[in-house]
Amino acid sequence: MSAGQPPLDSPEIRRLTPVLAPGYTYASVTDKISAIVLTRPTSLGWFIGFGIAFSLTGLLTIAIGWLIIKGVGIWGINIPIGWGFAIVNFVWWIGIGHAGTLISAILFLLNQKWRTSINRFAEAMTLFAVACAGIFPLIHTGRPWMAFYMFPYPSTMGLWPQFRSPLIWDVFAVSTYGTVSLLFWFVGLIPDLATLRDRAKTKAKQIIYGMLAMGWRGSAHHWHNYQAAYLLLAGLATPLVLSVHTVVSFDFAIAIVPGWHTTIFPPYFVAGAIYSGFAMVLTIAIPLRKAYGLEDFITMRHLDNMAKVMLATGLIVAYGYFFEFFMSLYSGNKFDVFLVQQRLHGPYSPFYYALILCNILTPQLLWFYKMRHNVVVLFLMAIVVNIGMWLERFVIVVISLTRDFVPSAWGRYSPTFWDWATFIGTIGMFVTLIFLFVRVLPAISIAEMRELVAETSEEEK
Amino acid sequence: MEHRSHIYGVMGEFGTPEQLIQAAKKTREAGYRRVDAYAPFPVEGLSEALHLHRSWVPFITLLGGLTGGLGGFGLQYWAAAITYPQNIGGRPLNSWPAFIPVTFELTILGAALSAVLGMLALNRLPQPHHPVFNVPRFTHASTDRFFICIQARDKKFHLADTARFLQGLEAHHISEVFDD
């Protein structure tokens, strides 16, 4: 299958695909990463990319503005399809965020060294994806200025949220997830902000990075508490990330709608989230390493490992699809059986087949060493998986809602211009934030790279 | 005593983490107690070499997690069973399984917030200025240099002797750290 591949973990393959290219010192990793932020001139490509993304963000603000003026009627949602794009996009974005936490927390607990050069921007990706995700349920309420009703606060009306509702669980899960991701990311940034403070040449940069670094001086006492806090955050973020998509799946699974009311949803949603998240990390990592010449830090080893995680989680997702299918047929419940038929032969069946093609069939190419080591193929594959995971949520939301128990309650759904504008707008916002992030903050953790230099130099001795 | 009021301590610079650990150990052995070391990344074994006591961060995190969890459950119980009870088909008001997700999330939130705020508080951060920043070479502490600073409030501190002691540890540069 993987012809021509040397045995795994042989010295040869380690030399060919190290986690960090040889020959780096503490100073040279610091120089190389901090230069992207501090000294390198902003390239024309950055301005073009940022300009396009920022225009799309403008489209988002117009779409939301129009929504607030006119109401949710500008979307394609109707009765019975009350959820539509808003929930499809919400689940898609929140799932994408999961890979960042997986890389930063779970791989940290598992002591995986290859996590080091990708965790920072993966965490940033998490934050931005959660920000995009949060927009959708908020504006889907129709009156976003009333969203604070969902938080428990002593109101003069004596009103409290319904804590038995999955939608309230969602509020707590997503806001906790956003907060903890921000904390984790910021704590990781503190030592690097101190590095930028010390290396900045202009007064303004020194002051801004200095304020953000909060006076970090790398003292042994600081590191002592810092490491304890970082480890604990990783330990806390791990069950958190699993819970977030579980709670998101409860939005569906707690309901009695055919195709939603199933116990396999939590694990299969979590696997799907990690799957789509790794696809998005690859979508960002491949152009990033190319644009900033970071091939020595984000090596083929990283891309290869990420491709393997994608393959593995993709197989779990495939297992989920299979058992969803099997259990519907095996249960003999006529509504569930009917739903399966609708997926295969109903009006939205092309989406279902496209989903199978994107999420199950295409990624099987990742079994091949040559495919995993072809950057272009990998990039395209990541895009395909991103699309596939979006289709998955579309299929779940739309097919079940258009075909529930009684034919008189059936309907059709098609998105409008404003649905697309909002969705594409959030992609624009996400890319805008990524562009700003790589320009003003170190996209790779400098302190952890120095640690990696220390560890790899020890290994060589 | 007079001269100590404007001296914070004496600082020595080292090139590698191994030298730093050696120096930290010898500083402790020589009887110095008010010592801090500075490194651009966490150096394994440095905490032990300086005999730092166990971090309080885990304990603070535990308290934060307990507060979040108990507070979270209490909030839901109070809202659903006491102040805003709703009889829906005679189902129990304290439907605790439905309260688990929010209790869990608030446990994590409380623990994570207290881990970070606890870490910052124990490290006395934010603290924009500190005497060690007065040493010009200290900017390298966030890149590739390692420092040891013996503070003037140490009982054994004597400006000339301590500087000579650090020299004996083969520190590259010895600098006095002024207290502004």
Same domain, B61 and B117: yes
Same domain, B108 and B65: yes
> Any chain A CB within 8 A of the CB of B175?
no
Taking only the tens place, the pLDDT of each residue in A316-352 is: 999 999 999 999 899 889 999 999 999 999 999 999 9
Nearest Cα neighbor of A195 from A42, A36, A64, A75 is A36
> Any chain A CB within 8 A of the CB of B94?
no
The answer to whether residue A62 sits within a structural domain is: yes
Nearest chain B CA: its distance from A443 CA (Å): 17
CB-CB: which of A184, A198, A228 is closest to B57? A228
CB-defined contacts A:B, below 8 A: 189
Nearest chain B CA: its distance from A32 CA (Å): 12
Same domain, B165 and B139: yes
Same domain, B86 and B173: no
A234 pLDDT band, cuts 50/70/90, is very high
Average pLDDT over residues A235-255: 94
> Any chain B CB within 8 A of the CB of A260?
no
Does pLDDT of A42 surpass 90?
no
Residues contacting A41, CB < 8 A, separation 6+ = none
What pLDDT is attached to residue A102? 85
Q: Domain range for residue B168?
A: 2-54+130-178
The answer to whether residue A8 sits within a structural domain is: no
Q: How many domains does chain A have?
A: 1
Chain A residues whose CB is inside 8 A of the B120 CB are 214
Here the CATH number for the domain that contains residue A295 is 1.20.1630.10
Alpha-carbon gap, residue A95 to A422, rounded angstroms:
18
Same domain, B45 and B76: no
Q: How many domains does chain B have?
A: 2
Does pLDDT of A78 surpass 70?
yes
Same domain, B7 and B49: yes
> Any chain A CB within 8 A of the CB of B152?
no
Taking only the tens place, the pLDDT of each residue in B110-149 is: 999 999 999 999 999 899 889 999 888 898 898 889 999 9
The answer to whether residue A9 sits within a structural domain is: no
> Any chain A CB within 8 A of the CB of B144?
yes
Same domain, B63 and B116: yes
Taking only the tens place, the pLDDT of each residue in A185-232 is: 999 999 999 999 999 989 999 999 999 999 999 999 999 999 999 999
**For chain A, what is the mean pLDDT?**
91
Same domain, B102 and B118: yes
| Domain end point (choices B79, B99, B122) | B122
Nearest chain B CA: its distance from A247 CA (Å): 7
The answer to whether residue A102 sits within a structural domain is: yes
| Domain end point (choices B100, B122, B144) | B122
Taking an 8 Å cut-off on Cβ atoms, the answer to whether A27 and B99 are in contact is no
**H helix or E strand, kind and range, residue B131:** none
Nearest chain B CA: its distance from A176 CA (Å): 6
Taking CA–CA distances from A451, the nearest residue in chain B reads B41
Chain B residues whose CB is inside 8 A of the A215 CB are 125-130
In percent, how much of chain B has pLDDT > 90? 60
Q: Domain range for residue A211?
A: 20-148+161-460
Taking CA–CA distances from B137, the nearest residue in chain A reads A198
> Any chain B CB within 8 A of the CB of A176?
yes
**For chain B, what is the mean pLDDT?**
90
Same domain, B63 and B115: yes
What pLDDT is attached to residue A17? 64
Taking CA–CA distances from A31, the nearest residue in chain B reads B143
Does pLDDT of A358 surpass 90?
yes
What pLDDT is attached to residue A70? 94
Same domain, B20 and B73: no
Here the CATH number for the domain that contains residue B38 is 3.30.70
ipTM score of the complex? 0.92
Taking an 8 Å cut-off on Cβ atoms, the answer to whether A240 and B102 are in contact is no
